[in-house]
Amino acid sequence: MFHAYVENPENLRFEGQSPDEKILLLLRAHPITNIPWIFFSLVFFLVPFFVPRLAAFFGFSLNLIPDTYLLAFLIINYLISLAIAFEGFLYWYFNVTLITAQKIIDIDFEPVLYKGVDLAPLPKIEETDSKTAGIFGTFFNFGNVSVQTAGATVAIEMKNVPKPAIVADLILDWAGVAHQHMRGI
């Protein structure tokens, strides 16, 4: 359920899926890419524990602030922490790429207000490109995969996916099989 790279996922359906369409690969951003929003969420969560010590260090007494203001600060702080965590998780979980035996579906989700779906038929795919950059990308084996279709434009861009070289190779292999099927070979 929370995996970033799943071959032949079971019990998974998507909007517009044909009855005979089999999902070959599900991709999400590598879990290590979640560290920034997890870090900021934890920082906001822990702020109330350090504010009294910080105030005491600077010689300020929190007793001067009314309790209702302190309570409002705590509520707002924890709501911000929860919002950062919730939005980060939604962004990671719902930004997926599905590769079926017929097409590639790239679903880009911006929490609450936007959902973009890009489709590329497998027989039209001409080229794939994978890039791994940086220490984390190399160490954890994640990067970006670009898929080009017959129009020579990048139709699908998969960001921070695990095993980018393998994904690019699999897409080309499946595109070759789909192209042969289309031609009746």
Report pLDDT digits (tens) over 171-180.
999 988 887 8
Side chain identity at 137, as an amino acid letter?
G
Q: Are residues 105 and 149 in the same domain?
A: yes
Sign of CA dihedral 76, 88, 105, 129: positive
Q: Are residues 119 and 178 in the same domain?
A: yes
CB 84 within 8 A of CB 37: yes
User: For residue 84, what are the domain limits?
Assistant: 36-89
Sign of CA dihedral 67, 68, 69, 74: positive
Q: Are residues 178 and 103 in the same domain?
A: yes
Q: Are residues 60 and 141 in the same domain?
A: no
Q: Which helix (H) or strand (E) holds 80?
A: helix 67-94
Q: Are residues 106 and 178 in the same domain?
A: yes
Vertex 146 angle, CA 145 and 152, to 5°: 165
pLDDT tier, 15 (very low <50, low <70, confident <90, very high otherwise):
confident
CB 169 within 8 A of CB 162: no
DSSP annotation string for 142-166: EEEEEEEETTSSEEEEEEEEESHHH
Q: Are residues 150 and 177 in the same domain?
A: yes
Tokens at 108, concatenated: 């880009």
Report pLDDT digits (tens) over 28-87.
999 999 999 999 999 999 999 988 888 888 888 888 889 899 899 999 999 999 999 999
Residues 6+ apart with CB under 8 A from 131: 143, 144, 145, 146, 164
Domain count, the chain: 2
